[in-house]
Amino acid sequence: MARIILPKHLRIATKKWIRQILADYELESQHIKILIQAGETWDRILQATETIEEEGDYYIDRFSSPKAHPALAEERNSRVLFARLIRELNLSEEPSDSRPPGLKY
């Protein structure tokens, strides 16, 4: 397999995680792209979590009303996306029936 160059903006721990998965599994090129997207999404989750911890869950807007921090939505959306990307990789040993059944028309 050709050497895979990971994006420079990924955190060191995330790069290590990706390299470990690449060492443990034989992935096709489309799965490698999904894995890298999962790593980027994981970093986005961490970034949003750090922002929330630093700035708080809520803030007071100019009308003195409490508002949810935008990073809360970013964190939530990124967690959903990360779970979907990992599911798409299907790295489990056993086949999973975690997807809902298809619609029958």
pLDDT for 94 equals 60
Task: Report pTM.
Answer: 0.81
What is the arithmetic mean of pLDDT over 40-48? 98
The span from the CA of 43 to the CA of 3, in Å, is: 22
Average confidence score pLDDT of the chain: 91
**Non-local CB neighbours of 85 within 8 Å, separated by 6+ positions:** 34, 35, 37, 38, 41
pLDDT of amino acid 69? 96
Span 88-97, mean pLDDT?
A: 73
3-state secondary structure of 60: strand
